[in-house]
Chains A and B, each alone.
Chain A
Amino acid sequence: MDRRRVLKISSAFLGYSIAGGTAAAVLGGCKATAEAKPADLDLFDDNTYHLINELTELILPATDTPGAKDANVVSYLHERIKHFSTEEEQQAIFAGLKIFDAQANESFSKKFIDLNSEERVKILENMATQAKENEEHIFNILREETIVGFFTSEVGATEVLRHDPIPGVYNGCMDYVEGEIVWSL
């Protein structure tokens, strides 16, 4: 989680401003957001909303460019699960999501959203390892949908990638300088 966001959240949470350098220390981790779940995400309960929101940000975090939360990927995931999954698939996804809390509880006796950054990463690394042999694993579903949701969003396509809606030309073999950003389309 980037510093900018921690400050914003902590200010709201603690009710006063904290000097940047000490924010993380004071908070002791990424206490999940105090912001309320948007009403239209009616398929998610509060915990599920915050859990998915945090997971998307762990998968594609804000760095020097925006991350999954900035692109509201959680809302995209809500649409996907609500309108594009059968009831059976929905049940599998929600059952899969419960594993995050179960593992957080087992390892740290907390809910996933109450873990600090290091703890979250540990759980996610564990999940990623389990997912290696299983394409249908909840981690793989979340990862894939987060990637698609992020890079097809306006934030992802225009602020993180290079968006070129009307190229005007086709150049099939131009010089590429290492580090140049990929096209969004």
Chain B
Amino acid sequence: MYFNSKGKEEVTYDAIVIGSGISGGWAAKELSEKGLKTLVLERGRKVKHGEYPTANLETWDVPNRGKLSLEEMKHYEKQSRTGYTISEFYKHWWVKDTDQPYAEVKPFDWIRGYHLGGRSLMWGRQSYRWSEMDFVANAKEGIAVDWPIRYKDLAPWYDYVESFAGISGQNEGLEQLPDGKFLPPMELNCVEQKVKTKMAENFNDRMLTIGRTAHLTEPKHNRGTCQFRNRCMRGCPYGAYFSSLASTLPAAEVTGNLTITTNAIVHSIIYDEDTKKAVGVRAKDANTLEEREFFAKVIFCNASTVGTTSILMNSKSDRFPNGMGNDSGELGHNMMDHHFHVGASGKTDEFRDKYTKGRRPNGIYIPRFRNINKATQQKDFIRGYGYQGGGSRQGWQRNVKELAFGPKLKESLTHPGDWSFGLLAFGEILPHHDNKMYLDYDKKDKWGMPTVVFDCGLKENEMAMRKDMMNSAAEICEAAGLKNVQTFDTRYAFGNGIHEMGTARMGKDPKTSVLNKWNQIHEVKNVFVTDGSCMTSAACQNPSLTYMALTARAADFAVSELKKKNL
């Protein structure tokens, strides 16, 4: 049964954390700071903070100005579907689709990277709290199942994670977007300030604020402040944005309680029928395919939504023939994301005597303003959406149609053009049982692991919401006095928001959910799931901050339960 040549003691820890991305890094930090000998298993390679090969390269330093040749792009057919993830500057952070196949019943963009730190290196860094209305919505509207927690359960943990991670932003006192513990906000530019002012004049239900982003605007714990290079996704040599590598893993490391094992692909969680607990995990070495087992009293699943769900599905035993914790049959179901690629933009000929310096890696945010209260209730859809976007003054990239070629064209492009402003909506997707993923055991990957199949799509509520997402964006642009206002609704495929979540949801009832209010598997109390798979609904805010808060809260509970010998 046990494959290790080493003694069992050598591979026994207090806690195992599967995955080292945003939530795994937090689990590692919290558990090791609270005195648990903690093993982090990462399926990808080791990366050290600061070892970001392209961080300081210029466009002309890389082949083809950063663009990958058609030949090389064949390896990234799915990973490139975002339009911004695959280039010479970032390609080493994303998997090759030719190595990591998956299947799509309907189009599904599963965009991911396997290395220490996971997607915390490449995330969008927008950080918003959920509000009470997000936690009560399912119960109030009779959708899916009720969340087993409310805002007050998570509020102190939001305070806690924001204070450590460093989130810059502006408190606005909004019911639908709670205030937080923020570092000084970044600055709005001229045109954004104008849109803000015009919105205040024209609407009483909506407003504009600077994006809340996990960037330091003041130094914190050996991390430097944002230098406004906007080269974040290459990895930040200053550690100015929150990542596992710059923030949580170093904090875990100084406790002396942390062990990191990379290239360890977790195959399954080992269940013990006698104690009715998990006793450890089985993992394959990514290079040698050698199988190893690691043991611990408590296991945190932070392998990302799809990763964690796959591991649980693959953890079969007599007790759990359909996957660990899947008595409800909900494991792999209720997949959500945020649907977007819809909005509007416009131009202004004002502010020709104003310009910007620096590349702010952040935009503006227009918090949700639909279905907040009776006055904002919509006929055609429930829930809501928020806008991200921003203004900028056009540079050499703009098209100067009237000048075809020659000195005048060159002269014109070396001076700034008009200011433009755009809004991009991010909408809530409802949990539907039939939006699902499952494993194909006949089609294995090169590590012998079953591959994932996705079968997810937008439904009526999202489609109705998209019309409003587009029209309201135009309405705001027009109210702001912008010219040439144009709307768009381009390709969105499920997963493209890279906010996949919900496939091992929390709930009150073991019959209809996988996890309880402490993120424990209902039937296996020493297994915690605190990545995106735990989400019972999706809200419309970027979710990573909520994963951080849920993880810190669950880790605190796990340690107190261990002390009480309840686990």
Question: Which chain A residue has the least Cβ–Cβ distance from B188?
Answer: A172
A173 in contact with B186 (CB, 8 Å)? no
Judge if B382 is at the interface, Cβ distance under 8 Å: no
With known contacts A59-B406, A84-B67, A168–B228 Cβ distance under 8 A: yes
- If over half of B's interface residues share one DSSP class (helix, strand or loop), that class is named, otherwise mixed; here it is loop
Which chain B residue lies CB-closest to A125?
A: B404
Is B70 a contact of A84 with CB atoms below 8 Å?
yes
Asked if A32 CB lies within 8 Å of chain B CBs, one says no
Task: Name the residue on B nearest A172 (C-beta).
Answer: B189
In Å, the complex CA distance between A83 and B63 comes to 11
List the B side residues contacting A138 at CB < 8 Å: none
Per the 8 Å Cβ criterion, residues 142-185 of A in contact with B are 143, 147-149, 151-154, 157, 160-161, 164-176, 178-185
Instruction: Name which residue of chain B comes closest to A139, CB basis.
Output: B404
| Interface hub of A65, A164, A183 (most chain B Cβ within 10 A) | A183
Flag if A171 contacts B358 (CB, 8 Å).
yes
With A170-B228, A170-B360 already in contact, the answer to whether A124 and B405 are too (CB < 8 A) is yes
**In the assembled complex, A44 has its CB within 8 A of some CB on chain B:** no
Q: Provide the bound-state CA to CA distance between A154 and B61, in Å.
A: 9
Cβ distance B393 to chain A, nearest Cβ, rounded Å: 8
Contact of B358 among A67, A153, A167 (CB under 8 A): A167
Structural contact, A67 and B410, CB atoms closer than 8 A? yes
Q: Which of B60, B69, B356 contacts A170 (CB 8 A)?
A: B356
Q: Flag whether B441 is at the interface (Cβ < 8 A).
A: no
Bound complex: CA A145 to CA B490 (Å): 25
Contact of A60 with B193 in the complex, beta carbons under 8 Å: no
Tell me whether B227 and A157 are in contact (CB under 8 A): no
Q: Complex formed: what's the CA distance from A60 to B230 in Å?
A: 28
Contact at B416–A182, with CB atoms within 8 Å? yes
A22 at the interface (CB under 8 A from B): no
Contact A176 B355 (CB under 8 A): yes
CB distance from B73 to the nearest CB of A (A): 9
- Point out the residues of chain A lying under 8 angstroms from B317, CB to CB: none
Residues of B within 8 A of A124 (CB): 404-405
Within the complex, the shortest CB–CB distance from A4 to chain B, in Å, comes to 15
Nearest chain A CB to B16 CB, angstrom units: 40
Are B414 and A61 interface neighbours, CB within 8 A? no
- Which of these, A83, A176, A178, contacts B64 with CB under 8 Å? A83
A84 touches B405 (CB 8 A): no
Chain B, range 423-456, C-beta contacts under 8 Å to A: none
Say yes or no: A180 contacts B415, CB within 8 Å. yes
Q: Does A134 contact B (CB under 8 A)?
A: no
Residues from chain B with Cβ under 8 Å of A152 in the complex: 59-60, 65
Q: Which residues of B contact A84 (CB under 8 A)?
A: 64, 67, 69-70
Complex-state Cα separation, A175 to B190, whole angstroms: 11
A151-B396, A179-B415 known; A128 and B404 CB under 8 Å?
yes
| Contact residue among A86, A169, A172, A181 (Cβ-Cβ distance under 8 Å from B192) | A172
Considering the chains assembled together, what is the distance between the CA atoms of A167 and B225 in angstroms?
A: 12
Q: Is the CB of B414 within 8 A of A182?
A: yes
Q: Which residues of A contact B256 (CB under 8 A)?
A: none
B228, A167: Cβ atoms under 8 Å? yes
In the bound complex, residues from chain B placing their C-beta under 8 Å from that of A131 are: 404
CB distance from A97 to the nearest CB of B (A): 16
Which residues of chain A are near B357, meaning CB under 8 Å? 164, 167, 169-171, 174, 183
Q: Are B414 and A160 in contact (CB under 8 A)?
A: yes
Interface size class of B (residues with CB under 8 A): 35 or more
Which residue on A lies nearest to B404, using beta carbons? A128
Interface centre among B56, B354, B395, B410 (most CB of A within 10 A): B410
Whether A176 pairs with B353 at a CB distance below 8 angstroms is: yes
A9 at the interface (CB under 8 A from B): no
* B289 at the A interface (CB under 8 A): no
B67 lies within 8 A of A161 (CB): no
CB atoms of A169 and B396 under 8 A apart: no
A149 to B405, CA, bound (A): 15
B187 — which chain A residues lie within 8 A by C-beta? 170-173
B142 within 8 A of A: no
B83 within 8 Å of A (CB atoms): no
Residues 344-373 of chain B, each 1 if its beta carbon lies under 8 Å from chain A, else 0 = 000000011111111110000000000000
Residues on B with beta carbons closer than 8 Å to the beta carbon of A149: 65
Contact check, A168 vs B354: say whether CB atoms are below 8 A apart. Answer: no
CB distance from A144 to the nearest CB of B (A): 9
**Separation in Å of the B94 CB from the closest CB of chain A?**
19
Assess the B190–A172 pair: CB atoms within 8 A: yes
B406 touches A174 (CB 8 A): no
Whether B415 lies near A181 (C-beta < 8 A) is yes
Whether the pair B404, A176 counts as a contact (CB closer than 8 A) is: no
Chain B 46-84 interface residues, beta-carbon cutoff 8 Å to A: 56, 58-60, 63-65, 67, 69-71
B173 close to chain A: CB less than 8 A? no
Question: Do A182 and B415 form a contact, CB below 8 Å, given A86-B70, A173-B193, A176-B353?
Answer: yes
Knowing A147-B396, A170-B228, A174-B356 touch, does A58 contact B406 (C-beta < 8 A)?
yes
Could you tell me the distance in whole angstroms from the C-beta of B405 to the nearest C-beta in chain A? 4
Report the bound CA distance from A119 to B404 in whole Å: 16
Q: How far is the CA of A165 from the CA of B60 in the complex (A)?
A: 13
- Partner of A154 from the list B56, B60, B355 (CB cut-off 8 Å) is B60
19 more contacts with CB within 8 A, not counting A59-B405, A180-B416, are: A63-B407, A65-B414, A83-B71, A84-B69, A86-B70, A147-B396, A165-B58, A168-B227, A170-B357, A171-B358, A172-B187, A172-B188, A174-B355, A174-B357, A175-B355, A176-B352, A176-B353, A179-B415, A181-B415
Q: Which B residues lie at the A interface, using CB under 8 A?
A: 56, 58-60, 63-65, 67, 69-71, 186-190, 192-193, 227-230, 351-360, 395-397, 404-407, 409-411, 413-416
Question: 10 A-B Cβ contacts within 8 A?
Answer: A58-B405, A124-B405, A169-B358, A171-B187, A172-B189, A172-B193, A176-B353, A176-B354, A179-B415, A185-B359
8 shortest interchain CB distances as A-B pairs: A172-B189, A167-B358, A83-B69, A176-B355, A128-B404, A170-B358, A173-B190, A59-B405
